[in-house]
Amino acid sequence: MKLKKNSIGLDKKPKDTTVVVAMSGGVDSSTVAGMMKKEGYNVIGITLKLYDNTKEVAKSKQCCSGQDIMDAKRVSNKLNIDHKVLYYQNKFKEGVIDNFVDSYLHGETPIPCIQCNKTVKFNDLFEESKNLNADALVTGHYVKSLTNNNVTNMYRAIDKNRDQSYFLFNTTREQLNYLRFPLGGLLKKETREIAKKLQLNVADKPDSQDICFVPNGDYVSVIQKLRPEAFSKGNIKNLKGEVLGVHEGIVNFTIGQRKGIKISAKKPLYVTDIIPEKNEIIVGLKEELLKKEIILKDLNFLVNKSYFENEIFVKVRSTGKLIKSKLNLNNGQAKINLLEDEYGISPGQACVFYSKDENGEKVLGGGWIKNN
């Protein structure tokens, strides 16, 4: 007699299923651990220590801090589940922090959360879960996943304000088949209600808001500490090549930025380009930020490339809207033609591909936006 699939899509009874829950110490992952335990799964919680804490970090609203590790331990004790802390500071610095700093030096606007998911969370945590003979790795991301014939597809979450699919485009097919996202069908307020019913002390804990290793959102101070030589003066020019002023370092600027240019003009000026090899900032009017074409690099596909014969939708920033587009693959180069104009598209950001079907908005993959 064939067993009925359990709640995470496996042909096993929960009591015979071991899951690793990635526990950050926040309400989302803690609730997931509680849900899995209540359903009868064998739960192992794992928390990653990714960076060395400072007083500034401890006071800010960030994930993976020392306080978060203690919260994860307390939740694990409350739920009576095994809990491990893995120390990945060196890997995190090499794979995420150094990449973050170097991206700014190259005139890009990086997304360290995607790099973290790729290099540490879903790579090393995946291997650790396999070593523990776990049947699945479960996280508190707001992503909907549907498994059919042992193949898992990823969709945008029901709660569009919390949807985190943009940050997971670099997940591999093997990882996606192993991952589970129980919160994808819930609203955030519903998650907190479940946490309260489970009597978890993190039920009302505020969400993390800053990049975990950037105290109070001040990324410039992080770069100053690690690459002080990056703050060399250079020219600010208009699109005609005329010098309008001087900047204190290109790392102080991102594409689309208006504040901090310190140049008086009849109309507001925005950063339209950053040229690191010349140490120059290019400024122009807002309409000069409009783009209809994006060049991509380092693509990751979660579906067959035949999907891209038709129009797709893309997101070019985490808070952006879905834009109808066409992906062209020629001679190893990937180009997105946007079917509507978009402002302030920045190199270093991700361009994530979606399609729409009866189950919602499906993640097809994505790539990194590069300088044209």
Closest among 371, 366, 308, 298 to 333, alpha carbons compared = 298
> Which pLDDT score is estimated for 372?
66
State how far the Cα of 268 lies from the Cα of 245, in Å rounded to an integer: 15
> Which pLDDT score is estimated for 166?
96
> Which pLDDT score is estimated for 64?
55
What strands, in cross-sheet order, belong to the sheet with 234-237? 243-247, 234-237, 280-284, 270-275
pTM attached to this predicted model: 0.91
Sequence-distant (6+) residues with CB within 8 A of 159 are 142, 186, 187, 188
Using DSSP, state whether 365 is helix, strand or coil.
strand
Residue type, 46: I
HSE on the CB side for 64, CA within 13 Å?
24
Give how far Cα 249 sits from Cα of 232, 234, 274, 281, Å. Answer: 5, 7, 11, 9
Residue type, 14: P
Sequence-distant (6+) residues with CB within 8 A of 238 are 244, 282, 283, 284
User: What DSSP character marks residue 74?
Assistant: H
Cα-Cα-Cα-Cα dihedral of 20, 65, 183, 130, to 10°?
-20
Q: What does CATH list as the number for 231-288?
A: 2.30.30.280
Q: What does CATH list as the number for 14-217?
A: 3.40.50.620
How far is the first Cα of the chain from the last one, in angstroms, to the nearest whole number? 58
Closest among 109, 24, 122 to 67, alpha carbons compared = 24
CATH class given for the domain over 290-369: mainly beta
State how far the Cα of 114 lies from the Cα of 168, in Å rounded to an integer: 7
Per-residue pLDDT of the chain (372 residues; tens, 9 = 90+): 566 889 998 889 999 999 999 999 999 999 999 999 999 999 999 999 887 654 444 444 555 567 889 999 999 999 999 999 998 888 888 888 999 999 999 999 999 888 888 888 888 899 999 999 999 999 999 999 887 777 889 999 999 999 999 999 999 999 999 999 999 999 999 999 999 999 999 999 988 766 788 877 788 888 888 888 889 999 999 999 999 999 999 999 999 999 989 998 999 999 999 999 999 999 999 999 999 999 999 999 999 888 898 999 999 999 889 999 999 988 767 999 999 889 889 999 999 999 999 999 999 999 999 976
State how far the Cα of 116 lies from the Cα of 153, in Å rounded to an integer: 21
> Which pLDDT score is estimated for 222?
87
Residue the block writes with tokens 């959360």: 113
CB 124 within 8 A of CB 50: no
State how far the Cα of 199 lies from the Cα of 79, in Å rounded to an integer: 10
Closest among 238, 231, 268 to 253, alpha carbons compared = 231
State how far the Cα of 24 lies from the Cα of 287, in Å rounded to an integer: 41
**Which stretches within the chain are classed as H helix?**
27-38, 55-59, 66-79, 89-92, 98-105, 112-116, 124-131, 173-178, 188-197, 219-226
CB 269 within 8 A of CB 283: yes
The catalytic residues are 116, 212
Cα-Cα-Cα-Cα dihedral of 188, 189, 193, 196, to 10°?
80
CB 227 within 8 A of CB 316: no
Task: Render the burial of 98-116: b for 16+ CB within 10 Å, e for the rest.
Answer: ebbbebbebbbbbbbbbbb
Closest among 107, 126, 114 to 278, alpha carbons compared = 107
What strands, in cross-sheet order, belong to the sheet with 18-22? 82-87, 42-49, 18-22, 136-138, 179-180
> Which pLDDT score is estimated for 258?
93
Spans of all domains in the chain: 14-217, 231-288, 290-369
